[in-house]
Amino acid sequence: MRVRITLRVRDRLAEMAKEESERTGSAVTVSDLVRAACYNYLLVQQSLRHLENAPPEHLDDDDEESEVEDEAALVRVYVNPMLAS
């Protein structure tokens, strides 16, 4: 696989790989970071699809504690539109 990235991104990935190598004591390359990012992206997409297909939760009318009072308290997931399929 080949990808095009800016020099700034490549340089930052190289810095991160070096930091991770020093932290872990194992050789970490930019390719390792890209590979891990691809794998993590697939896991996130799989989880999002699973959540989208989950049945809705039904709340009892008597169970006021379980209701979310403030919409801001809900978890929102944003996907980078450049990566969306």
Rounded average pLDDT over 22-38: 94
Q: Is the pTM of this model over 0.85?
A: no
Give yes or no for a contact between 44 and 52, defined as CB atoms under 8 angstroms apart. no
Q: Which residues contact 66 (CB under 8 A, 6 or more apart)?
A: 59, 60
Cα 34 to Cα 30: distance, rounded to the nearest angstrom = 6
Q: Which residues contact 47 (CB under 8 A, 6 or more apart)?
A: none
Cα 21 to Cα 51: distance, rounded to the nearest angstrom = 35
Is the pLDDT reported for residue 71 higher than 70? no
Q: Which tops the pLDDT comparison, 44 or 85?
A: 44
Rounded average pLDDT over 16-22: 96
Q: Which of 9-13, 24-28, 71-75 shows the lowest per-residue confidence on average (mean pLDDT)?
A: 71-75
Q: What is the pLDDT of residue 68?
A: 53
